[in-house]
Each structure stands twice: as structure tokens, then as C-alpha cells.
Structure 1
Amino acid sequence: MANTAAATPPLLRRVNAGKLLGVLSTAGVMTGTGLIEATGLTRATVHAVCNDLIAMGWVVELDPGHDAPGTPVGRPSRRFEFNSHAGYVLGIDVGAAKTTVLLSDLRGETVAKTGRSFQTVKTPTEQTQVVDEAVLEVLAEAQVTDAEVLAAGVGVAAPVDREGNILVDDSFWRRFDAGLPARLTELHGWPVLLENDANLAALGEHWRGEARDVDDLVVLLAGERFGSGLMDSGRLLHGSRGGAGEMVYLKLVEGVGDTAGIARTARELGAKAVADPTVKTSLRKLAVEAAAPAGDAGVAVTADAAGAGVTAELVFEAAAGGDEVALGILRHIAGRTARVVATLGILFNPELVVIGGAVATAATALLPEIEKQLATFTATPPRVAVSSLGDTIVSVGAVRHALNYVEQHALDLQLNCRG
């Protein structure tokens, strides 16, 4: 006969505590009666478990309230609220060029934010130091100690498997295999959860962005390199080694040819146009002004220097002003992006594809052309939107990733909260 462990009173108490905490963490102030209705537990159980959660620091009890009109007059109802300051979590985006760090309370509200450039970083040790400096900055700004941080989510631009290991088959991906999680845990003591940046972007969009209530989703990070996070029925897809959604296959797609994202493509095509003296474009004037020394617009700027000064922002600015060369570049980018979206739509059949990253705001101008061309590539085109989360798309998802960990392990975590 199989040895089946009976559900002991402590185990039942733990299960009930998890159920009540789950309800309170997503609700506002609730009465005992409301918790009974939401959980199906008895009044005695609700009050006993709430007492446990109050003692642990997860729940606070407010001044007594009164039941709804029409109910029998008696002792006022006890009122309970999730303690969103029972601890804090960090969301850290480690990109190729910079890091963005968010500190949030346990309802996911941002308490502090900062960013640091990797422009002068040459080694993994230096990268870790920059990330740690950003972490220390947000903790100091919010006057939060390491002991109050319950977990940190970290996103990197490389495939990460379910155990948090980076796939290092590509030289670009190897740049992120620098032991950052172990080092941050060593320095600060809190658990660090590593995940692919596009996967975290998908979590962030599903939680706080354009994809709320959309469970079949692709988030396309489209700045320097294309990368995608895939969600099916509300669940992230990783693949056997964390490579689900990686875009190296674009090298095989006609009309795309590589993984270069919207920002990189705009910059490179814009620089090429500016460097060609036979091309008439207002982009050249914008680039010259951008390349001129500060406060000295009269200094001559070479064609090479002007070309080097072209940014994606300048290309979009010139297009907004009606420049035909810039508009042609954007049409090319829209067509290329439509092919990328079409392949994702055909392979994964999402309801929605969200374009995110630093280019998201500018990419709004591309949507009409993307949608027009997308309809010619597939009979079932997904809806396309641009993210409203800006440069925090990955770090917001990293916060959500950390909160998921906290919710799963809440009853085992030691709180050092302010109450």
C-alpha cells in the first residue's frame, strides 16, 4: 500500500495561509466576512490564520469597520490589509549598453529607479560593479536595507533556461555569463533570479502593459537586436535550453537577413545616406548639428563625422518632417519588421505582438505600414501594438518575476519589515 501522508493541522494551516495571502495581496482592505466569501474558509479559520499572518508581518489589522447596511447589528467586523511594505523587491535590466534598476514594494509600485551606462565597462567584473552601484543607489534613495529586500529579478539579453543558466553558444550571449547573480547574492544576501530579458518583457507587458488580459502573447524587443518573449495561455515558453523565441533564425528569412533591430537598422541606413554626397536629405543637416561641438555650430563637420552622428532618433525626426530619404528608411524598416512579426505569428499564433524597448515610442509611426504589409504575409495576422512601458519594460518584468518568487515562498521568508 502506498504511503500517503495525511494532511496534518500545520499543513492545513499553511495551505489556508497561502490562500488568504493570495487574496489579500491582490485586494484592498477586506473584512473577515469578505475573506470568508473569497476563500470558502470558516470564520474561525480565517481569523486564526489572519492572526498568524499578522504575527509574521504579512498582514496588518486596521481599525474595526461595520458590515454592510441591513446586516444584524453586532461587533464591528475585523478589517485586514496586505502589508505592501513587508519587504521590497528589485527589478534589474542588464542590457548591452546600460542597466536599469527598479526598487518596488510588494504590490509592485516603484519606490526608486536609476540607470547606469556600460560605456566604459571592459570586463565582467566592471559590469557587476556598475550594476551593484545602481542597486546601492536605489536602496539609499528609498532608505531600504538589504535585510528588507526579499528577492531580485535580473534580465539579460541571452537565453536562460529554467534553472537560471545562460546558453553560451553565441559570443554575444557569453558576454552576460559573468556570475552576476552569485556575486549580488554574496554582496547582499538576497536571492537573485536570472531570466531572459524578452521573457521578462513579456511578463511586464502581461502584468502592467498593453497585454493585460492577453494570455497568448509575443513581446518583440526591437532596439539593437530583435529578441522575443513568448507566452502561451499565460505561461512563458523557455524551450529545452532557454532558447525559445531567440531570433537567430532571421538570418534565414528573405527580406530580413539578420537580427539587427529597428534602432540599429535606422542608424546604419541613415548614416549611409548622410555619407553619400549625392543624396539630398535633411537628415544630413540634423546630423551635422548633432555632431558639432557644443555651443559652436559654425565649426565644419566632415561627412564621416556627420554620418557617425546619425542616430535612430534623428532618422525618425527627419521622417516626421517629411524628408523622403528618412521616410524611405522607415518604409524599409516597417516592411522588415512586418516579416519578423509574420514569422512569429505563423509559428506561435499569438493574439497580440507588442513591440518594446527603447524604440517603442518611435515605432508608433511604423504601425500602419507594418499592419498593411503584415496582411500580405499571413492569413491570420496578430494584432500589433507598441509598449507603453518605455525603457522599464524589462525591469518591470523583473519586478514581476521577483514578486512571483516572493508569493511562492512567502511563508518561508524572514521579514524585516517596517510594519
Structure 2
Amino acid sequence: MDASANTPQLLRRANLRAVLHVLRSAPSVTGTDLIDATGLTRATVIAVCDDLIARGWARETDSPRAGGQKGRPARRFQFNESAGYVLGLDVGIATVRVLAADLAGAVVGGAEARFPRHGGQREDRRRVVTAAVDAALEDAGITSSAVLCAGMGIAAQVTGAGRVAPGQDVAPMFDLGLTQEFSKARGWPLLVENDAKLAALAERWRGVGAGEENLAVILAGERLGSGIIESGRLLHGASGGTGGMGALDLVDGVGNEDGIAKLARLWGSAALEDGHNGRIRELVGPNTNRASARLVFEAAEAGDPVAVEILVRIAARMARVLALVSSFFDPRLIVIGGAVAASATALLPAMRQELERYVVQPPRIAVSGLGKTLVPTGAVRLALDYVETHLLDLVPELRR
């Protein structure tokens, strides 16, 4: 078949994409604005806008009339952010969090649920995830048919094809078959990605790393993991392993992937076992030697010398991790996120000072302000990127 036969259709799609790009970047625009931005003729711009309105992706909005203006005001157009929705899931070992967002990225609902104790069986975890998705949809007041795509972050290595990489001990906890289930039962794609990589997307989109082209995000709760953005691109590697922390076993002064929360808990509990009777003991109480990370940080803030020493040890250890990431990937900014992000602010001065011993030009170090929404926000961004790429092939709910 003559390839030129498709030229009008390809040109039409190119025009649609050009106008959509402008509509998505501004609250509302006139036909003249679109002409200036795209270089298309007025007739083409108006025809494209009418087409997008008919498809459900755009709408016409009231145009304010200037003082003394006569005649009909110029037509104004805007992207229809409620033409569909996306979901962002964060599936961890103990909990699942779900955010529902419109096509402008505004969160409209969410839900959180805990898995059965000790993780639960595969079917149990599937039920918890699907129930949390349904709860988020109900909270947002939208139906499953309104969802165009979902992104899901998991605490495991994920291949470029969106599958759990083989050979991981945690694979059974995350390889739940949800991609096929959601596709068949709900009719929308589920994109799977490593949680630390989604954290990097979130920080570059809406966090302290907003707009940064060279960025590393380290999830530092129970286990360390990192997501790397280089020249604006999220790095994956041949099998999705970029940013993995398995090599920390080889680093003197580190030795494993244990994160800040786990270290604070383990070292605080060890101090109690050894007879420490200071502020940590007061906060934990007399009947247990199990210290939480939160209480260790609180004790340090109150001046407990043992708790302060624990934080100094953690900061020194983390500085070596930061040096490794900095040396390998040369980011301008490293953001620390995860369950301990708020508490980790106390570690920043010591980490910065220690990092200067290892790196000639240290990157900026910051703590994420996105809290528990860090990974699901990145999952929302992943889903939105898919929708933006495939927008003209998707059908909004109002046309179904």
C-alpha cells in the first residue's frame, strides 16, 4: 500500500498532538494563542479544537469580555482534566497506598490498607490491593471505567518490561498477577515500576527536586534503594537494576542495605538490651527492649547521649552511601525519602560534613517533603506519562 495514503491522517494526529500539548500547559487559551504556539492556520486550529471537544479531551470555556469590547469575545479552550483519571499505587511489604488523580495530576481521592501480619499469602495480598483500589475509587467518587491507566510501585527490582525481576527473595510478595487482572477485569493498563525509581519521578515532578535534570532519590526506611534521573531521564539499566544497593555488602563501614529506620530500631533495642537507662528507656517503657526508630530520634532530640551516638553512627554510614551514589551518578541533588524522611532532617548536618571527606564537589542533600505520598505520587506521574503518550488512542469515559 502507498505510504502516502496515510499522510492526511498522520498530519491530523500531529496537529491534534500539537494543540493538546499547548492546552495541557496553560489554564486556557484562545485560538490566537494556539496559532502563535503551533504555527497552524486559524481554520486548522479551530477544526482541531472542535475535534478535541468532540473526543472529550477539551472544552470551551467562557471568555472574559474586555471593557468596551463589541461583538462576540474570542473563543477560549482548555484541556478537560476530568475526562479520565489515573491511579498511583505503592505496594510495600506491610502496606498498600493508592492515590486517584485527574489528568492534571490533582489528587481527588485515596486509600490505605495493611497486609496480613507477616505479609500474607499471594491471594491475600491480591485481595488487599484490589480492595484498596476500590476504596480509593469510592473516596474519589469515580468509577473503574473512568480510569485510563494505573502505575504501581513495588519494593523489588523491576525489568524494563514491567515485570518483577527473577531471583529475588521478595518476588512472591509482589508478583501478584495484577497486571493481567486489571487489564481483563477493568480494562486499563497497570504499569509496574520499582518504588525508588517512582520516588525519583515524584521528587522531580512535585518535590524538592522539581525540575532538576540530575537527581538521585534514596528510600532510606527499612532498606536502602535509589532512583536515578540523569539528564532528565529515569535510568533503568539492562534488567532494571540501576540504583540497586546490593553492592553495599562490599562497602567498608556499611555492609548491607539496612535503612535508617531499621538501624535506629536495631541499635536502640541493642542499647536497651545492654542496660541503657536513659531517655530511650523512658520513652519505650520498662516492659520491653524493642525501641522504635521514632522513639530513638525523639530521645536524641531530648539530648540522650546514647541516642545521639546512634544518630552519629547512622549519619556516618549514610554519608558513605551518599558518596557511592554521588561518585557513580554525579547528581546535583540527592533527596532522602521514605518512612524516616521527616526525622532524617536531624542527620543532614552530620551527613553533609562527613560527605565532604569523600567527594570533592558534594551534591546538595535534602529531605523529601512528600511523606507517605512519595511513591504513589511517582506512580501517578508514571500513569500520566502513559496517558499523555497514548491520549489520542484512549477513549474518555464520557464517550464510552
Aligned match for 1:263, one of 261, 264, 274: 261
Question: In 1, distance between residues paired with 2:162 and 2:365?
Answer: 30
Q: Does the aligned pair in 2 maintain the 1:85–1:418 contact within 8 Å? A: no
Among residues 80, 83, 107, which one is paired with 2:80 in the alignment?
Answer: 83
Answer yes or no: is the 8 Å Cα contact 1:86–1:418 preserved in 2. Answer: no
- The one of 358, 361, 371 equivalent to 2:342 is 361
In structure 1, C-alpha distance between the alignment counterparts of 2:260 and 2:171, rounded to whole Å:
20
Shift of 1:25: 1.4
Given that 1:274 and 1:281 are in contact with CA atoms closer than 8 Å, whether structure 2 keeps it comes out as no
Residues 197-220 of structure 1: CA deviation (Å, up to 9, x unaligned): 111101100000011120101000
> 1:102 — aligned with what?
99
The residue that corresponds to 2:123 in the other structure is: 125
Deviations 1:26-85 (A, max 9, x none): 210111111111222111111110000000000000124458x99x96642110011110
* Displacement after TM superposition at 1:418 (Å): 9.2
Question: What amino acid maps onto 1:20 in structure 2?
Answer: V
Call closer, same or farther: CA 1:6–1:344 in 2, change over 3 Å.
farther
Where 1:202 maps in the other structure, the secondary structure is helix
Deviations 1:384-415 (A, max 9, x none): 10001001100000000000000001011111
Provide the rounded CA distance (Å) in 1 between the counterparts of 2:233 and 2:172.
26
CA contact under 8 A between 1:84 and 1:106: conserved in structure 2?
yes
* Distance in 2 separating the partners of 1:280 and 1:196: 41
Residue among 311, 315, 324 paired with 2:292: 311
Contact map agreement 2:35 2:45 (CA 8 A) in 1 = yes
Counterpart-to-counterpart distance in 1, 2:40 and 2:294? 57
Name the stretch that deviates more: 408-417 or 176-185. Answer: 176-185
Q: Give the match's secondary structure for 2:398.
A: coil
Question: How far has the Cα of 1:122 moved from its partner?
Answer: 1.6
Q: 2:162 aligns with which of 147, 161, 164?
A: 164
Residue 335 of structure 1: aligned partner: 316
Whether 1:407 and 2:375 are equivalent positions in the alignment is no
In 2, are the aligned partners of 1:89 and 1:402 still within 8 Å (CA)?
A: yes
Shift of 1:15: 0.7
The 5-angstrom pairing of residues 7-406 of structure 1 reads 8-66=7-65, 75-120=72-117, 121-277=119-275, 279-288=276-285, 301-302=286-287, 306-308=288-290, 310-406=291-387
How far apart, CA to CA, are the structure 2 residues paired with 1:351 and 1:258?
25
Q: Cα offset for 1:6?
A: 6.7
Give the secondary structure class of the aligned counterpart of 1:165.
Answer: coil
Indicate how the Cα distance of structure 1 residues 418 and 388 shifts in structure 2: closer, same or farther if over 3 A, else same. farther
User: Shift of residue 417 of structure 1?
Assistant: 3.4
Amino acid of the structure 1 residue aligned with 2:386: Y
For 1:141 and 1:174, locate their aligned partners in 2 and report how far apart those are by CA, in whole Å: 30
Please give the secondary structure, in 2, of the residue aligned with 1:380: coil
Comparing 131-140 with 167-176, greater Cα deviation is found at: 167-176
Aligned residue identity for 1:122: G
Q: Is the 8 A contact 1:85 1:417 kept in 2?
A: no
**Deviations 1:216-257 (CA, angstroms, capped at 9, x unpaired):** 010000000000001111111100011111000000001100
Size of the aligned set, in residue pairs, is 399
Report if aligned partners of 2:157, 2:240 keep a CA contact under 8 Å in 1.
yes
Q: Note if contact 1:30-1:80 (Cα within 8 Å) is conserved in structure 2.
A: yes
Paired residue secondary structure (2:134)? helix
1:10 deviates by 1.7
Amino acid at match of 1:385: A
Distance in 1, Cα, partners of 2:293 & 2:369: 19
TM-score, normalised by the number of residues in structure 2:
0.96
* Cα shift at 1:19: 1.2
Matched residues in 1 for 2:360 and 2:116: separation? 44
Q: Kindly report the root-mean-square deviation, in angstroms, between the aligned alpha carbons of the 2 structures.
A: 1.9
Gap regions ≥5 residues in structure 2: none
1:345/1:380 contact within 8 Å kept: no
> Following the alignment from structure 1 to structure 2, what is the Cα–Cα distance between the partners of residues 33 and 307?
70
